[in-house]
């Protein structure tokens, strides 16, 4: 048999290791199954493996049958039944182990290996003349080690199958006759291993009749043997736990008397199995065993009986842990830790059945003086007179009105800056936007901005054409103008709702409110009121009398007085809660704006808000958030820039490149829009989220921040405020004067080919003093370096009478006969130019390098 073949055989110790069992156990099973086996080095035939596996299956089925027999019994009873099966199995192993050991001691071997094998083996083991038993015992002292585990881990489960297959193709004859032949490198490593035998451990081992030959190949010292063995001592680590268990399974010290024929029942073990464990995620078998107060081997056996072949370091998923714990009769509480300090990112999925309709949250936006504030006031007062009586209207950042027994929440701060600032802070609180356009003024720059902001946020738009009471009001003109921005009225075949109103005369307000309800109905805004509250801070301030005050929009769940909460980096407990009518509330459900007191500090508008179980928890989360924020402020920006655009595209983070265009004239805006929208690279397109004429303003930058956009300025510059904000928010602003350059830059960036900008750097000059023509080499210029230096890798230009007559690379650079990397000023050198020979005395060679410049 060749060495190669030998290596490919599956041996008992390898198979045992793959199951995280000892060779001894496998040998015992093999014998029990009447399969001829000598020792750990015996080759496992296909058939043998199959039969051992069948043996395990039988045990499993047996256990399952027992379980079924006891169906209906509580888990604990079932697991006891199961335990009995395993114990039975262990006991039978013990009996056989005892017999085997007895045989060994008497020098009886089931099958004597060839004498030569022994000889080979002894030589391999260092030729120390030890008897086989001794060697095995000593080897077993070098008990489980990380290497051992690693080996087990590295070998894929069922890895022996492949070996088995290989075996079947090779010669199978004589395997039993010469089990020790070959052995390969691993065996040799074992011989090189120091053998720090601990006498007391030898004694322990001898007593316990353990011959864990599986570790023969582990060339690592083990810590385990250093500890004197105590039968019931639990190992400090899983490896130790396994060793101890091995000892226990074989009877331990107390088995001394019965060694040979009889196995004593296992020592009575104090059952310290916990009633309940808390699981916070996947765990390894070893970790699970520790948590269950079990030996790893016990857990592994249990897993085998459940049909799971696992090694000590194998990860168990939560489902398996749950089943396993049930097998041991242990209750499990699964607590998956969420990143609570980033609670705004945690999406809570509610059952459809728990979701209840909630009032829509509406923001009013539009151009200056088009009547936003007047409209908000009109709606509020309309409702106060027609709706709830009493209460002093409070400004709490938002208010609710009721129409047709349905509520609508209006955010009190009109304007898209506030809206987008909120959005930039991650708060999505608006469900519907109302764009107010004065009928006498028409669409103005901020109208367009407002539309862009609403669209970027993906919020439905209702157009309120205001000031229709004015004599020069022309609502149709407004409709006409808005078609350019894809806001087409329904009567013209579009899907945008237009309502004519007069905020001042309070005309059309009811219709506007009804339309809001209609849009809300279509969009089905819902939330689960029966859970802890989550929302957003709309405003906050420090009140002289009441301390920090936050106006909060509850978005999910119900906020109650007494609730502990986190708002941004602040925390508190709801001391008092007031609504927009000045009424004290005990509870506030979804879409309700409330003013709360009980904070320790003042949060910021747009901060996320969430209730936690107690104030201590809230405090710790707020503190963590403060630290994280400080770190992220120090850290790098995550905004899209053209320079890292390709990376984002590649990583699939970007599907659209959001762009804001500002130009000097409308014509340029249109030209740029048209060309940029045509660009498509790898499925990524340019999306113009806003465009306009005029300087780049802070509002543009805020929109870019909220929408992760880049800003292109064409013949315009950012104003000072915008510049400062762009720098602070790290928004990529590109300024251009040539349309072609804009398009090329964007296209290249999307293709990941944004070429670095190069700058030429002249590093030196050399004057040609002589020329030599050499066949096959060409013209060598004998030069004197007159300034700087000439380097071998530089590019060169040949200058004759001030005119560049050639530009190319330096081919060779020599000092005398030797190649030189560089030659400095004042030294002579020989230079040849790549593919150029027409060099004349008096020419000047200018050396330069191209350097990349940071953009």
Task: Among 339, 369, 653, 727, indicate the residue that binds ligand GTP (CB under 6 A).
Answer: 369
Task: Among 231, 414, 475, 508, indicate the residue that binds ligand GTP (CB under 6 A).
Answer: 414
Closest separation in Å from C-beta 565 to ligand GTP: 32
Closest to ligand GTP by CB, 400 vs 502, is 502
Chain position carrying tokens 């000593």:
138
Residue 320 counted as an annotated binding residue: no
3-state SS assignment for residue 364? strand
Residue 765 counted as an annotated binding residue: no
Closest to ligand GTP by CB, 466 vs 725, is 466
| Among 246, 593, 226, CA closest to 394 | 593
Closest separation in Å from C-beta 487 to ligand GTP: 18
Closest separation in Å from C-beta 509 to ligand GTP: 10
Q: Which residues contact residue 542 at a Cβ distance below 8 angstroms, ignoring those fewer than 6 apart?
A: 548, 549, 602
Residue 371 counted as an annotated binding residue: yes
The answer to the question of residue 502 lying near ligand GTP (CB under 6 A) is yes
Residue 466 counted as an annotated binding residue: yes
Q: What is the helix (H) or strand (E) element at residue 598, kind and residue range?
A: strand 593-599
Transcribe 784-838 into DSSP letters. Answer: EEEEEEEETT-EEEEEETTEEEEEEEEEEEEETTEE-SEEETT-EEEEEETTB--
Closest separation in Å from C-beta 413 to ligand GTP: 10
Round to whole Å and give the CA distance between 781 and 764: 16
Q: Return the structure tokens found at 796.
A: 């060169």
Tell me the three-class secondary structure of 480-506, residue by residue.
Answer: HHHHCCCCCEHHHCCCEEEEECECCCC
| Among 346, 247, 225, CA closest to 295 | 247
The answer to the question of residue 783 lying near ligand GTP (CB under 6 A) is no
Task: Among 40, 143, 242, 370, indicate the residue that binds ligand GTP (CB under 6 A).
Answer: 370
Closest separation in Å from C-beta 462 to ligand GTP: 16
**Binding residues for ligand GTP restricted to 104-123, rule: CB under 6 A:** none
Closest separation in Å from C-beta 374 to ligand GTP: 3
Round to whole Å and give the CA distance between 786 and 770: 15
Task: Among 60, 504, 546, 792, indicate the residue that binds ligand GTP (CB under 6 A).
Answer: 504
Round to whole Å and give the CA distance between 663 and 54: 78
Task: Among 368, 542, 777, 804, indicate the residue that binds ligand GTP (CB under 6 A).
Answer: 368
Q: Which stretch binds ligand GTP (CB under 6 A): 212-220, 365-373, 595-603, 659-667?
A: 365-373
Give the CA distances from residue 704 to residues 274, 478, 727, 750, 842, in Å, rounded to whole numbers and listed in that order. Answer: 56, 27, 12, 18, 59
* Interior/surface letters 23-60, b for 16+ CB within 10 angstroms, e for the rest: bbbbbbbbeeeebebbbbbbbbbbebbebbeeebeebb
**Binding residues for ligand GTP restricted to 440-469, rule: CB under 6 A:** 466-467, 469
Q: Return the structure tokens found at 45.
A: 């035939």
Residue 380 CB: number of other CB atoms within 10 A?
Answer: 17
Residue 582 counted as an annotated binding residue: no
Closest separation in Å from C-beta 504 to ligand GTP: 3
Residue 467 counted as an annotated binding residue: yes
Closest to ligand GTP by CB, 469 vs 601, is 469
Closest to ligand GTP by CB, 508 vs 782, is 508
Closest to ligand GTP by CB, 11 vs 467, is 467
Contact assessment for residue 188 and residue 127, using Cβ atoms and an 8 Å cutoff: no
Task: Among 118, 313, 373, 620, indicate the residue that binds ligand GTP (CB under 6 A).
Answer: 373
The answer to the question of residue 434 lying near ligand GTP (CB under 6 A) is no
The answer to the question of residue 850 lying near ligand GTP (CB under 6 A) is no
Residue 370 counted as an annotated binding residue: yes
Angle separating helix axes 445-457 and 698-707, nearest 10 degrees: 10
Residue 426 counted as an annotated binding residue: no
Residue 290 counted as an annotated binding residue: no
Task: Among 26, 209, 263, 503, indicate the residue that binds ligand GTP (CB under 6 A).
Answer: 503
Round to whole Å and give the CA distance between 696 and 424: 18
Contact assessment for residue 501 and residue 468, using Cβ atoms and an 8 Å cutoff: yes
Closest to ligand GTP by CB, 371 vs 590, is 371
Round to whole Å and give the CA distance between 246 and 25: 10
The answer to the question of residue 470 lying near ligand GTP (CB under 6 A) is yes
Closest to ligand GTP by CB, 368 vs 627, is 368
Closest separation in Å from C-beta 704 to ligand GTP: 22
Residue 317 counted as an annotated binding residue: no
Q: Which stretch binds ligand GTP (CB under 6 A): 363-371, 384-392, 398-406, 487-495?
A: 363-371
Contact assessment for residue 407 and residue 401, using Cβ atoms and an 8 Å cutoff: yes
Using the 8-state DSSP alphabet, how is residue 245 labeled? H
The answer to the question of residue 138 lying near ligand GTP (CB under 6 A) is no
Q: Which stretch binds ligand GTP (CB under 6 A): 140-148, 212-220, 371-379, 762-770?
A: 371-379
Which residue's beta carbon is nearest to the bound ligand GTP? 371
> How many chain residues touch ligand GTP (CB under 6 A)?
16
Round to whole Å and give the CA distance between 368 and 366: 7
Dihedral angle over CA of 368, 373, 375, 377, nearest 10? -170
| Among 852, 655, 660, 637, CA closest to 750 | 655
The answer to the question of residue 371 lying near ligand GTP (CB under 6 A) is yes
Q: Which residues are annotated as a binding site for GTP?
A: 366-373, 412-416, 466-469
Which residues of the shown chain bind ligand GTP in the complex (CB under 6 A)?
366, 368-374, 414, 466-467, 469-470, 502-504
């Amino acid at each position: 048999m060749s060495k190669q073949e030998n290596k490919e055989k599956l041996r008992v110790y390898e198979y045992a290791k793959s199951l995280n069992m000892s060779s001894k156990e496998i040998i015992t099973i093999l014998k029990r199954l009447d399969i001829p086996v000598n020792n750990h080095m015996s080759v496992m035939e296909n058939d043998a493996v199959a039969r051992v596996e069948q043996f395990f299956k039988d045990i499993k089925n047996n256990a399952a049958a027992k379980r079924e027999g006891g169906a209906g019994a509580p888990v604990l009873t079932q697991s006891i039944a199961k335990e009995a099966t395993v114990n039975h199995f262990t006991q039978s192993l013990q009996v056989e182990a005892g017999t085997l050991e007895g045989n060994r001691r008497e020098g009886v071997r089931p099958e004597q290996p060839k004498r030569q094998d022994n000889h080979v083996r002894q030589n391999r083991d260092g030729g120390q003349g030890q008897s086989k038993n001794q060697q095995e015992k000593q080897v077993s002292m070098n008990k489980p080690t990380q290497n051992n585990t690693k080996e087990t881990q590295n070998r894929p489960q069922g890895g022996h199958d492949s070996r088995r297959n290989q075996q079947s193709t090779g010669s199978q004859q004589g395997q039993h006759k010469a089990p020790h032949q070959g052995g390969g490198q691993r065996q040799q490593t074992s011989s090189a291993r120091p053998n720090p035998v601990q006498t007391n451990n030898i004694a322990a081992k001898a007593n316990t009749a353990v011959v864990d030959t599986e570790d023969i190949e582990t060339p690592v010292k083990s810590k385990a043997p250093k500890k004197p063995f105590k039968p019931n001592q639990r190992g400090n680590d899983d490896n130790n736990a396994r060793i101890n268990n091995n000892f226990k399974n074989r009877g331990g010290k107390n088995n001394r008397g019965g060694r040979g024929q009889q196995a004593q029942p296992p020592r009575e073990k104090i059952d310290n199995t916990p009633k309940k464990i808390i699981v916070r995620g996947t765990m390894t078998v070893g970790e699970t065993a520790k948590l269950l107060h079990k030996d790893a081997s016990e857990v592994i056996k249990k897993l085998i009986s459940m049909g799971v072949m696992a090694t000590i370091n194998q990860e168990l998923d939560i489902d398996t842990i749950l089943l396993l714990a049930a097998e041991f009769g242990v209750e499990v509480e699964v607590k998956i830790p969420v990143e609570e300090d980033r609670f705004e990112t945690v999406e809570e999925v509610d059952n459809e059945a728990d979701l209840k309709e909630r009032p829509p949250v509406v923001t009013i936006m539009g151009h200056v003086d088009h009547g936003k504030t007047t409209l908000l006031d009109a709606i509020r007062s309309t409702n106060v007179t027609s709706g709830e009586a009493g209460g002093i209207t409070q400004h709490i950042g938002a208010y609710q009105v009721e129409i047709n027994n349905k509520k609508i929440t209006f955010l009190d701060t009109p304007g898209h800056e506030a809206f987008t600032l909120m959005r930039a802070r991650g708060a999505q609180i608006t469900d519907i936007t109302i764009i107010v356009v004065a009928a006498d003024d028409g669409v103005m720059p901020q109208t367009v901005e407002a539309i862009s902001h609403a669209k970027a946020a993906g919020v439905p738009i209702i157009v309120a054409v205001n000031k229709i009471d004015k004599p020069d009001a022309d609502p149709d003109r407004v409709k006409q103008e808005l078609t350019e921005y894809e806001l087409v009225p329904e009567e013209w075949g579009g899907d945008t709702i237009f309502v004519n109103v007069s905020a001042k005369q309070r005309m059309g307000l009811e219709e506007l409110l009804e339309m809001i309800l209609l849009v809300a109905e279509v969009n089905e805004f819902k939330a689960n009121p029966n859970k802890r509250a989550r929302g957003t801070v709309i405003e906050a301030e420090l009140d002289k009398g009441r301390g920090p005050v936050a106006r909060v929009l509850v978005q999910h769940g119900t906020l109650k007085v007494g609730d502990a909460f986190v708002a941004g980096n602040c925390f508190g407990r709801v001391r008092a809660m007031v609504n927009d009518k000045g009424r004290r509330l005990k509870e506030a459900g979804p879409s309700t704006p409330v003013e709360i007191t009980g904070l320790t500090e003042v949060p910021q508008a747009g901060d996320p808000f969430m209730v936690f179980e107690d104030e201590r928890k809230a405090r710790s989360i707020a503190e963590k958030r403060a630290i994280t924020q400080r770190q992220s402020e120090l850290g790098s920006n995550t905004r899209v820039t053209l320079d890292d655009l390709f990376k984002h595209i590649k990583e699939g983070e970007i599907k659209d490149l959001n762009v804001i265009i500002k130009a000097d004239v409308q014509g340029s805006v249109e030209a740029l829009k048209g060309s940029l929208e045509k660009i498509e690279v790898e499925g990524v397109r340019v999306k113009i989220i806003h465009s306009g004429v005029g300087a780049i303003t802070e509002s543009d930058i805020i929109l870019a921040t909220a929408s992760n956009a880049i800003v292109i300025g064409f013949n315009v510059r950012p104003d000072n405020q915008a510049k400062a904000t762009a720098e602070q928010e790290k928004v990529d602003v590109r300024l251009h004067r040539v349309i072609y350059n804009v398009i090329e830059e964007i296209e290249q960036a999307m293709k990941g080919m944004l070429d670095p900008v190069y700058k030429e750097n002249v590093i030196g000059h050399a004057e040609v003093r002589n020329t030599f023509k050499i066949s096959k080499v060409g013209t060598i210029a004998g030069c004197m370096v007159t300034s700087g230096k000439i380097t071998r890798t530089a590019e060169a230009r040949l200058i004759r009478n001030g005119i560049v007559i050639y530009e190319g690379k330096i081919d060779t650079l020599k000092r005398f006969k030797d190649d030189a990397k560089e030659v400095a000023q004042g030294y002579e050198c020989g230079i040849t130019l790549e593919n150029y020979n027409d060099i004349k005395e008096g020419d000047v060679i200018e050396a330069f390098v191209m350097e990349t410049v940071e953009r």
